[in-house]
Structure 1
Amino acid sequence: MSISKDGKGQILYRKAKRIIPGGTQLLSKRPEMFLPELWPAYYSRAKGCKIWDLDGNEYIDVSYMGIGSNVLGYANDEVDAAAKEAINSGGMCTLNAPEEVYLAEKLIDLHPWAGGVRYAKAGGEAMALASRIARAHTNKDIILFCGYHGWHDWYLSANLANKNALDDLHIPGLEPLGVPKGLAGTNLPFHYNNIDEFYALMDKHKDNIAAVVIEPIRNDYPEDDFLKKIRTSTEKSGVVLIFDEVSAGFRLCAGGSHRVLGVDPDIAVFAKGMTNGYPLTAVVGKSDVMDAAQETFISSTFYTERVAFAATLKSIEVYERERVWEKQSEYGKIIQKGWKDLANTAGLKIDVGGILPMSHFSIIGNENPLIYKTFVTQEMLKRGYIASNSFYTSNAHSAEIINQYLKHLGDVFKRIAELNGSGITVESQLEYGVCQSGFGRLN
């Protein structure tokens, strides 16, 4: 397949950059993150794990599957049918949609430690909501956090007190422009599996800590009872423990990854992993903590729209019935082993990481890893794949699709090895520039 900067999607994106600041609404979807000037940028339709661009070209998505939001695959028939039924019945009304109660019951059934649920529309928004509830419940200000948790003021305020606070927590170089300077010192970072760093922060700020916010798992599994020690410390101190399950939720089991890891929080936040592409998030928490949501002000018209509730209920039903978490892990094992085998055959050094349903790799050589990533994306696009250096598995993938993908990727790895051996740089083989690092947690 030939690729060109003059495709309809490429032309439309150049127009978008003139009238939409940043070009897109999501950093992780910017074409510069993948293949500058050549990335298709826009889709006309998507089904299963296939995408058609504006020129009608067909691709297989072996990258992020809607940035992790389409666990069942694109345009799942059952989920979309439930959404269409909700539309036909009226997506918005002066009265409330009963599905929000049914979904709350389902989420509490999956998480018996919980007793209350509130909703929002986006993951970062839900994390802001959870942080507000924790501060309202404790009447304290400081939040200790580990990992990435969105774009809102409470989170970006970490870079007010220390401009490098977020650099090694997946997003380097963020300027907290527009964040009130008075929030400096209210959000303090610690690192995953570094329990001594956590203890030091708890001791230093013990009288004013409202919450500890952490992704229970991202790339590495907890070591030396890391999560259990945090749970013990927060319980002893009366601090709200919030698990950000926006990415990991509904990957390792039906519900949160904490169910597999054996540690229950006070609040867990769910989003794209449970909705199969529909905009809905859930803040699930213990009854006494969630009661604070009634004492503070959290209210929005579109938190009540019906369509996403109906779609999410059906998505969870399909997820459980087909035991999708088992397929996600099975495919992840094939992918991670395949990457290592291909690199070994080609004579390349590779670093493979991530939990099985959300795997990623980095080729290590004489050139910047982003150069290798860009070359892989460029060459795989020519072969009909939306690919990068990450693979989020879905129910729409299959062992056959993955094995064909690995076969093509093996040819690209061999070409990289040939270039390395000939003294020709991989960068010289890029048709345009090197992709941007941007959102480090996806690399």
Structure 2
Amino acid sequence: MAGLMVSEFAQSERLRERARRLIPGGAHTYAKGDDQYPVLAPGFIERGEGCRVWDVDGNEFIEFGMGNRTVGLGHAFPPVLEAAMAAMKGGSNFVRPARIEADCAETFLRIVHGAEMVKFCKDGSDATSGAVRLARAYTGRDLVACCGDHPFFSTDDWFIGTTPMNAGVPRATRRLTLTFRYNDVASVEALFLRYPRRIAALILEPARSDEPVDGFLHRVQEICRREGTLFILDEMITGFRWHASGGQHLYGITPDLSCFGKAMGNGFSLSALAGKREFMRLGGLDHSDLPRVFLLSTTHGAETHAMAAGIATMEIYRTQPVIEHLNRQGSKLKAGMEEAAQRHGIDAFVYPVGRPCCLTYATLDRDGNPSQSFRSLLLQETIRRGILMPSLVVSYTHQDADIDYTLEAIDGALEVYARALQDGAERYLVGRPSQTVYRRFNQNGQPPRAVYARKSA
């Protein structure tokens, strides 16, 4: 087993200084930034295999983030790697389409049953923004509604303008996106009462930490149909984790458009916008009744090795019990963490949240409020014990022994957590706590004095 009591990150620290000089924030994904982790954390990963990763200092961890949920099968999963390498040997990008583009589309559409056409790209933001553009073109409307309880849809202005981190997004653009609450049909109805026949698209995830209740998804879809609004499901996380055919299959609903990515390529860059032919055709060449839509056109969107990885990954999900394994191991992890928290008398302050195949966890302070300090402390103490768990997301390669060892580490970390509830987290946390991504300023969410002075000058 991993077995390492981790404490040394000298190489990471040196590399961090170099990266910050070269890369804004020191990373290319905000969720991977230093501000998301405690001071005592690996700064850079060297390699991964299965459910384990090794950092640049040689520390070994069992990982439960799985590349921000992009790696469902496991790091460097051999059948996926072999397919990608074989395709790459024949070239990765050409001046005309490659045969594998049609092969990948057929594979995808065999699995995602409600979709009739698909277009591939490289990341989730392009897919969701393409869906929004398509909906606006089809309806001739400007407004978009997105679920305010779901944390991320796109890096593009139509969504980022709804967050506190909206610097650079024009006010006019911000006013075009509306929000509603998950499992709150009244909040959806209120939007359409306020903006009748003006909303082009409504987008949400099928589920996240909460399951849809009282037919929520179907009721929202009925409202959209009544109002002539396209109903879009963001399946970046639920796709290839809730079910091989997506959350839409699990919940028995067929959206107008849906967006997939993350685990679809097991870490390779591949995402998809899929939907009914009636809408998707507007981005093609076979219509003349409506204006052309510049739907998706990415230079690297059809790289052969990513397509090959996607085909191999989707076939594994189709033929092997991946989803069953994720739910089984996640259930063990959830039950074990709950039992450990009860044993330490802190089950009201730290507990797993969500579906077993895609768990996160809550970390509350002594007053019962969500706490970045206590989240950082839990991360710090599990990292010390050889576990890297910004979430509790399992993969196909997490075996029983990995779960057992992880629960031992969590038990030890919760012992520290329990003491910190009495003594204060700052007594046990080394350095500053982590922070949320969506904050307006870097310094604890507040502007530095120089900014205030400049504004008042």
- Asked if these proteins are the same fold (TM beyond 0.5), I'd say yes
Alignment partner of 2:381 out of 357, 379, 400: 379
Match of 2:413 in 1: 412
Indicate which of 192, 202, 206 corresponds to 1:212. 202
CA distance in 1, matches of 2:202, 2:435: 31
1: CA distance, partners of 2:417 / 2:159: 39
Which residue of 1 is the match for residue 140 of structure 2? 139
Q: Structure 2, unaligned stretches of length 5 or more?
A: 285-291, 440-457
Aligned equivalent of 1:326: 324
- Whether 1:362 aligns to 2:365 is no
Give the TM-score, by structure 1 length. 0.91
Q: 1:353: which partner in 2?
A: 353
* 1:258 matched to 2:248: yes
Question: Could you say which residue in structure 1 is the equivalent of 2:46?
Answer: 44
Quick one: distance in 1 between partners of 2:386 and 2:265?
27
- Provide the residue aligned with 1:296 in structure 2: 293
Counterpart position of 2:445: none
Q: CA RMSD in A?
A: 1.7
CA distance in 1: counterparts of 2:167 and 2:130, whole angstroms? 21
Q: Distance in 1 between matches of 2:264 and 2:401?
A: 25
Q: Match for 2:134: what amino acid? A: I
Determine the C-alpha separation between the residues in 2 that align with 1:2 and 1:357: 27
Pairwise mapping of residues 427-442 of structure 1 onto structure 2 (< 5 A)?
427-438=426-437
- The answer to whether the 8 A contact 1:272-1:281 is kept is yes
Residue aligning to 1:157: 161
Question: Hey, what does 1:9 align to over in structure 2?
Answer: 12
- Give the C-alpha shift of residue 417 in structure 1: 2.1
Indicate the SS of the match to 1:211: strand
- 2-side partners of 1:360 and 1:114: how far apart? 30
Deviations 1:173-216 (A, max 9, x none): 32x22223332321100010110110111122122211111111
Secondary structure of the residue that 1:391 maps to in structure 2?
coil
How far, CA to CA, are the matches of 1:60 and 1:357 in structure 2? 17
Say if 1:144 and 1:187, in contact at 8 Å, map to a contact too.
Answer: yes
In structure 2, the residue matched to 1:314 is: 312
Contact 1:28 1:439 in 2 (8 A): no
Q: Distance in 2 between matches of 1:413 and 1:112?
A: 44
Q: CA deviation at 1:425?
A: 2.4
Counterpart of 2:192? 202
Deviations 1:253-283 (A, max 9, x none): 1121111011110011000121100001100
SS in structure 1 of the partner of residue 66 of structure 2: coil
- Partner secondary structure for residue 356 of structure 2: coil
Shifted more, 339-348 versus 364-373: the winner is 364-373
1:243 aligns with 2:236: no
Q: CA deviation at 1:439?
A: 5.8
For residues 48-197 of structure 1, the aligned pairs below 5 Å read: 48-61=50-63, 63-146=64-147, 147=150, 148-158=152-162, 166=163, 173-174=164-165, 176-197=166-187
Query: Partners of 1:337 and 1:190 in 2: how far apart?
Result: 32
Provide the secondary structure at the position in 2 that maps to 1:66: helix
For the Cα contact (< 8 Å) 2:341–2:351, is it kept in 1?
no
The 10-residue stretch of structure 1 (64-73 or 396-405) with the greater mean CA deviation from structure 2: 396-405
| Residue number in structure 2 paired with 1:169 | none
Deviation at 1:2, TM superposition (A): 4.1
Percent of aligned positions that are identical: 29
Provide TM-score, normalisation by structure 2.
Answer: 0.88
Dislocated runs of 4+, deviation >4 Å: none
Letter in 1 for 2:332: I
Give the letter for the 1:140 counterpart: R
Task: Tell me, in whole angstroms, the C-alpha distance in 2 between the residues paired with 1:417 and 1:136.
Answer: 55
CA, structure 1 residues 362+109, in 2 after alignment: closer, same or farther (shift >3 Å)?
same
Which residue, out of 244, 247, 260, partners 1:270?
Answer: 260
Determine helix, strand or coil for the equivalent of 1:343: helix
In 2, are the aligned partners of 1:107 and 1:284 still within 8 Å (CA)?
Answer: no
Q: Deviations over 1:285-331 (max 9, x none)?
A: 00001012232113221112211101000011112222201111111
Flag the 1:365–1:177 CA change in 2: closer, same or farther, 3 A. Answer: closer
Task: Name the amino acid aligned to 2:77.
Answer: N
The gaps in structure 1 that reach 5 residues or longer are: 159-165, 167-172
In structure 2, what residue type is equivalent to 1:373?
A: R
Does the Cα contact within 8 Å between 1:34 and 1:435 map onto a contact in 2?
A: yes
Query: Separation in 2 of the partners of 1:384 and 1:398?
Result: 16
d(CA) in 2 for partners of 1:362 and 1:184? Answer: 30
Partner secondary structure for residue 67 of structure 1: helix
